[in-house]
Amino acid sequence: MIAGTRKLRGHFTMLDILARAGCFVAIIFLGVGLRKAGFFKREDFYLLSKIVIRITLPAAIITNLSGRKLEFSLLILILIGLVFGIVLIAAAYFINRRRDHTFRAFAVLNSSGVNISNFVLPFVQNFLGPAGVMAVSLFDVGNGVICLGGSYSVAGMIQEQRKTFSLKPVFAALAKSIPLIVYVVMILLCLFHISLPEPVVNLAGIIGNANSFLAMLMLGVGFRIDGSRIREVAHILLPRYAIGLAFSAACWFLLPVPAEYSHALVISFMGPIASAAPAFTAQLKGDYELASAVNSFSILISIVFIVIALMIIA
């Protein structure tokens, strides 16, 4: 394992960081503006999410991981992603243990998991390069177990007041996740030092270049904030970000990995709630509007935290 320096790729200045992050924010608000102007409809969010999740994101993963070498010791990052999600679930349940089972289920579902694919990855692509993408890819394999089925299954158990937990819906959801499958395949290729054919990588590069723009535009189209429910949103998000900050500090000071990887993890812990949470909330017949507000507020908070983290790292 090669030690890294605690510097961003390209040694970005504070102005560079603010300018690039500002571009991401501008694209999000472009999506908001276009939706309000009638260019996009509410249901267009789901079309954009399909394009991002099934086409541009897998292509970006292939481009950034192809030809990279990975040591087995770094697979611990997968475990970190899983443990982080489990801690969030446990904390949400404990904090809301005296609330009714419906709200406990809502809190578990809307506190856990990180939106790596559509939010954190574009930041990492632009600021930390391939090494950072490798780190968040490993993290997202463990995180995906939580946000693509794990938290939903736990929330369903709480909602229905069942005493047993089933892994079947978790595995069913994971088996349908194209990004997770691509992550796993590319990580295996990296472990065994196998490269994809150059034409495949070139094609993926052309498609993957659109991922950052489409991911941020999609977030803007789906952006919803209900100011009247700030207190409820704060009750969900404050513990979640407190835990994220604790994990970030522990990772920064204690995790024996190259700096490029620890930088990426710090940003990952500050990421917003998983984008699948509102949809899963609707499936459980929960408060979908509150879930959307929680998700949208978490995006704003995460932008602030990630920009601050990048300025500290630079």
Question: Could you give the CA distance from residue 122 to residue 217 in angstroms, rounded to a whole number?
Answer: 12
Higher pLDDT, 174 or 51: 51
Right CATH for 14-313 from 1.20.120, 3.40.50, 1.20.1530, 3.30.160: 1.20.1530
What percentage of residues in the chain have a pLDDT greater than 90?
25
Least confident of 55-69, 102-116, 130-144, 163-177: 163-177
Q: What is the mean pLDDT of the segment spanning 286-307? A: 87
User: Does the pLDDT at position 184 exceed 60?
Assistant: yes
Residues 6 or more apart whose Cβ sits within 8 Å of residue 30 = 217, 220
Give the residue from 187, 213, 200 showing the smallest Cα distance to 65: 187
Inter-residue contact 104 to 97 (CB < 8 Å):
yes
Residues 6 or more apart whose Cβ sits within 8 Å of residue 80 = 139, 142, 251, 255, 265
Specify the pLDDT at position 311.
85
Q: What is the mean pLDDT of the segment spanning 173-191? A: 83
What percentage of residues in the chain have a pLDDT greater than 70?
94
User: Does the pLDDT at position 107 exceed 60?
Assistant: yes
Mean model confidence pLDDT for the chain:
84
User: Does the pLDDT at position 7 exceed 60?
Assistant: no
Integer CA distances (angstroms), 89 to 105, 275, 286, in order: 10, 16, 17
Other residues' Cβ atoms within 10 Å of the Cβ of residue 192: 9
Q: For residue range 187-217, what is the model confidence (pLDDT) as tens digits? A: 889 888 888 999 999 999 999 888 888 888 8
